[in-house]
Amino acid sequence: MNFITTHTEQDPWRSDYAPALASPTTRINRRRRLVFLVVFALACVLSLSFTFLRPAEYRAEARVQITPAAAAPPSVFMASGQAPVTAAASQTSESARPFLTEVQVLTSRPVLQQAIERLRPSYDLSSLGDDPVGGLQAALLITPIADTRVVQLAATGGHAQLLAPLLNTVIGVFQEHLEAAYRNATGLALAAASDEAAKLAADVAAKQREVELFRIQYNIVSPEREENQVLARTTGLSTSLNKANENVDIAEGKLRSLRDAASAGKGVVRSKDDPTLADLEKRASQLREDLAEQGRSFTAGFMSLDPLIRAKRTQLDNLEQQIKTQRVTGQRAALAEAEAEVASARETVNRIRRQSAEDRSTVQQFTAHFSAFKALQDDLNGMQTLYRAAVQRQLRLEASELDRKPAVQVVEAATTPLQAWRPLYARDAAISVAGSLLLGLLAMWFVELFNRPEPQPAFILAQSLAPAGRLHEAADALTLGRPANRALPTAGAALLGSQPALPRELGQDEVNALLRAGSETARVAMLLLLSGISAEEALAVKSDDVDLPRRVIRIGGELAREAAMCETLAELIIGRAKQPGQQLLADAQDRDIGLPDLSAELLCAAHDAGIEHPAEVSPAALRHTYVAFLVRQGIRFADLTQVVGRLPAETLSDYSTLSPAGARISLEAVERVLPALRAPA
């Protein structure tokens, strides 16, 4: 504890009988009170005067449900103060006006003017000003309620008795105005729809007569091309010409193949096509079989002497000569037949072409007339469609007039307000007093800023509260070569400010003992801290930040990184099965824990593990153990921040004393898992 004493000596000439002067502290306090009271009183008077001199304003509210006219296809609609407008010039109508348009009509000048005229005999409207309608528009506030057809009306003014009748009268006038506008628009729409239907009916009848006369004049049987004789004949000739050209190609191909076969010496006539040739070939085949059978039974010399066998051979030679002659005759006949077939096909093509040329002019004229007839028919169909639509609009207007009628239902009528809406005198008075208090304090500080007293001599005495035993213990620890990063007592730190102020570094046996003695939550927290994650980052880790396949944990913040995860930590996380978005560190009831709870868990685990000085086992000590493990391997300090995050410059300077001499090694060559965590616990 530090004691500060100030000593001021009296002047030697001062007599004990001289009158006592006020001390500087008394004068300063007196000046402060004077400044504060003056500023506070002046600010209170001004602010409270402003607060209580403002006139009271009252507010009345009402709610109405507006149901616009249902959607319908009238041909005209009425705008306020304007002539009827046809539906062909606009796609909207009076009965299909949107809900927000009706809301705008509610505060229009005609509606408010009529409401003013009704209220004028019974109420004094001088508070609305020279222009009562403009004053009423300024006092009214209309707010449509989202996703409904309900509108909230609010009127604000200084006369409470006038607000409720004003709102209720405006609502009544709006109902009458809406019904009158609908009646006018519906009558005009029905008249316009009837006129439109009649005009379209006359136009359709005239167009039908025109189409029929055109059809009779040019002998058009039907709008379909195939049903008209001229076009059907042209289509038939085109089909026949295509077929004839195809027959010509077939005949010419057959003739070419016969000629090519004859030139190559091949037979062009098949036996099945010539009965005579088939009979000759059959007889020759029988003789060959007989001679072959006898050749297997008799010798060649005997067969040359036998007259019967010689007769068969002579007969076989005659048959072969007859077959050759018959083949030549059949080939000539086939060629003649193919040539005749080609000539016939060509004559058919020429005849069809001549006939098509003769009908071409007639077809062209008929086609032009038919196209004109189709155009007239399309015009007639369009006019008939318009006529049917006009008739349907007229029928719907006549049948659904009551269903489409707009409605205004008062959900909550306006009532006379009993209390002022604004200003809230009590609240504003409290704000005024609080503001005056702050202004007085600010003025007092501002005055004291320019009236600082002269500094007085001071004597500082420091006294250590740490027992002597702890100082001796710290000295013994340094002498015996124990880890130099264990925290010294406060007095020791003041006396030895040049020593590193690092937390306690735990040994591997102590780490194993902590993991065995801690609860499940404590073990997860220890493993996170022993992976280079700070206590604040560990408490912020959620289940979504864990990437089990890659065995990494994503750490956010201004320096985002990924921390390696040992197998022991992975098994614990898999066993906990947290929901997505849930904090990873939680107690047995899945409630999130804070930094005090985490420190308490580690302290309990240190006590249960029998570790010496358990109070020094903190989240910072566990993280320091991991950082020291990396630094002692010779890791580059630039890579160290990628593993454990950003560290202050003073801390990095302290860690430099733990780094070994020589060149630093890269991050890939550094072992990132503590030896105590390499095997699953």
* Mean of pLDDT values over 106-133: 82
Q: Which of 262, 261, 282 is nearest to 271 (CA)?
A: 282
**pLDDT recorded at residue 403:** 58
Q: Kindly indicate the confidence band of residue 454, based on its pLDDT and cuts at 50, 70 and 90.
A: low
Q: Which of 66, 63, 173 is nearest to 116 (CA)?
A: 173
* Mean of pLDDT values over 373-391: 86
DSSP H or E stretch at residue 408: strand 407-412
Q: What angle do CA 90, 94, 100 make, to 5 degrees?
A: 100
Task: Render pLDDT for 482-511 as a digit per residue (tens, 0 to 9).
Answer: 343 443 333 333 334 444 468 888 988 998
Question: How many CA atoms lie less than 13 Å away from 48 in the CB half-sphere?
Answer: 13
* Mean of pLDDT values over 578-588: 76
The Cα-based distances of 597 to 512, 536, 603, 605 in angstroms read: 21, 12, 10, 12
Is the pLDDT assigned to residue 470 strictly greater than 80? no
Q: Kindly indicate the confidence band of residue 101, based on its pLDDT and cuts at 50, 70 and 90.
A: confident
Contact 429, 51 (CB under 8 A): yes
Please check whether residues 381 and 516 belong to one and the same domain.
no
Please check whether residues 100 and 125 belong to one and the same domain.
yes
Percent of the chain with pLDDT over 90: 5
Q: Kindly indicate the confidence band of residue 676, based on its pLDDT and cuts at 50, 70 and 90.
A: confident
Please check whether residues 102 and 234 belong to one and the same domain.
no
130 vs 365, higher pLDDT: 130
Residue 611 maps to a domain:
yes
Q: Kindly indicate the confidence band of residue 83, based on its pLDDT and cuts at 50, 70 and 90.
A: very low
Percent of the chain with pLDDT over 70: 76
Please check whether residues 356 and 249 belong to one and the same domain.
yes
What is the distance between the alpha carbons of residues 657 and 484, in angstroms, rounded to a whole number? 10
348, 377, 412 — which closes off a domain? 412
**pLDDT recorded at residue 72:** 43
Question: What number of other Cβ atoms are within 10 A of residue 68's Cβ?
Answer: 22
Instruction: Count how many residues are written for the chain.
Output: 681
**pLDDT recorded at residue 14:** 38
Residue 156 maps to a domain:
yes
Please check whether residues 238 and 373 belong to one and the same domain.
yes
Please check whether residues 395 and 524 belong to one and the same domain.
no
Task: Render pLDDT for 304-320 as a digit per residue (tens, 0 to 9).
Answer: 777 887 787 787 788 77
CA 249 to chain centre: 66
Residue 276 maps to a domain:
no
Euclidean distance between the first and final Cα of the chain, in Å? Answer: 47
- What is the domain-level CATH number for residue 516? 1.10.443.10
Cis upstream peptide for 423 (omega within 30°): yes
Please check whether residues 595 and 647 belong to one and the same domain.
yes
Please check whether residues 639 and 532 belong to one and the same domain.
yes
| Secondary structure (3-state) at 57 | strand
Contact 618, 624 (CB under 8 A): no
Q: Kindly indicate the confidence band of residue 607, based on its pLDDT and cuts at 50, 70 and 90.
A: very high
Residue 296 maps to a domain:
no
Contact 165, 195 (CB under 8 A): no
Q: Kindly indicate the confidence band of residue 46, based on its pLDDT and cuts at 50, 70 and 90.
A: very high
Contact 330, 268 (CB under 8 A): yes
Please check whether residues 47 and 70 belong to one and the same domain.
no
Please check whether residues 118 and 188 belong to one and the same domain.
yes
DSSP string, 17-55: TSPPPPPHHHHHHHHHHHHHHHHHHHHHHHHHHHHHHSP
**pLDDT recorded at residue 437:** 92
Q: Which of 548, 601, 558, 557 is nearest to 578 (CA)?
A: 548
Question: What number of other Cβ atoms are within 10 A of residue 380's Cβ?
Answer: 18
The long-range contacts involving 371-375, CB below 8 angstroms and separated by at least 24 positions, are 372/214, 373/211, 373/214, 373/215, 373/218, 373/220, 373/223, 374/223
Q: Kindly indicate the confidence band of residue 401, based on its pLDDT and cuts at 50, 70 and 90.
A: low
Residue 289 maps to a domain:
no
Domain membership of residue 491 as a residue range: 464-501
Is the pLDDT assigned to residue 327 strictly greater than 50? yes
Please check whether residues 633 and 667 belong to one and the same domain.
yes
**pLDDT recorded at residue 490:** 37
Residue 174 maps to a domain:
yes
Residue 614 maps to a domain:
yes
Q: Which of 507, 241, 467 is nearest to 348 (CA)?
A: 241
Task: Render pLDDT for 207-249 as a digit per residue (tens, 0 to 9).
Answer: 888 888 887 777 776 666 555 555 666 676 677 778 878 887 8
- What is the domain-level CATH number for residue 152? 3.30.70.1130
Is the pLDDT assigned to residue 675 strictly greater than 60? yes
Please check whether residues 651 and 587 belong to one and the same domain.
yes
Domain count, the chain: 5
**pLDDT recorded at residue 2:** 38
Q: Is the pTM of the predicted complex or chain greater than 0.95?
A: no
523 vs 20, higher pLDDT: 523
**pLDDT recorded at residue 431:** 94
Residue 214 maps to a domain:
no
Q: What is the mean pLDDT of the chain?
A: 75
